[in-house]
Amino acid sequence: MGKIITFANQKGGVGKTTSAVNVAASLGILGKKVLIVDMDPQGNATSGVGVAKKNLKYTTCEVLLDGVPAKDAIVTTKFKNLDIIPTNIGLAGSELDLFQVEHGEEQMKKALETIRDDYDYLIVDCPPSLGMLTLNALVASDGVVIPMQCEFYALEGLSQLVITIGKIKQKYNPSLTVTGILVTMYNGRLLLSMQVISELKKHYAEKLFKTAISRNVRLSEAPGFGTPVYYHDKNSKGTLEYLEVAKELATRI
């Protein structure tokens, strides 16, 4: 049975989608069969694996609200072992619609249960908020990876997010755990980065991934080509770091 892992952070611009796409692609390179579920209305994970957001037959929106089977929405990418349930801006209105559905927070869980045996990992990319879409992802998931930037405001947001995950675990999903905290946009030459890492080790040592993701030009370029960084430059620092994270993730869940 495949493991469902959500990449979530209510703060935007922390490398959440970049991490979801590149960890998923790295797991594919390592021989795992992987599905990305794009639950961010911006659709950056969709375009990040080279899938055009226009003229999609089905998206996450139809899966959540119209009863379209998840298997019918899957698009096979050109990358090794990597499929996606894509999305586009049409998902934006579904947040309110889900409140009108009985047990609306369980829609994605029901959908993914029908296909989870087809994959080793199902990676869910969430919007930068803690609304109904993110709740759906967390209710469906076995674990959460929290990407966070190396700055002190991010530390404040992290503690709030961990509390929220605890409440969701208590009310909706007893098996939900924080799989790991992934530091992104790391610069080892900055004192601030070292201080933030030190604070994380103090409070979340067992959850912190051993590899931090450095600021990297190739990593920033890759989405513009509709490709994970491995396929843009397989020898780049970003490629090697995400491969290490993927290996560690596979040992954690």
pLDDT per residue over 143-165, tens digit each? 999 999 887 777 778 888 999 99
Give the count of domains, the chain. Answer: 1
pLDDT in tens, 48-89: 999 999 889 999 999 999 999 999 999 999 999 999 999 999
pLDDT in tens, 78-122: 999 999 999 999 898 888 888 888 888 999 999 999 999 999 999
Give the mean model confidence (pLDDT) for residues 222-238.
96
Give the mean model confidence (pLDDT) for residues 200-212.
91
Give the number of other CB atoms < 10 A from CB of residue 101: 14
d(CA 114, CA 127): 23
Query: What's the pTM value of the predicted model, to 2 decimals?
Result: 0.95
Q: Could you tell me if 98 and 105 are in contact, meaning their C-beta atoms sit under 8 angstroms apart?
A: yes
Q: What is the DSSP secondary structure assignment for residue 75, as one 8-state letter?
A: E
Q: What's 242's domain CATH number?
A: 3.40.50.300
Domain that holds residue 14: 3-252
Give φ, ψ of 185 to 5 degrees: 55, 40
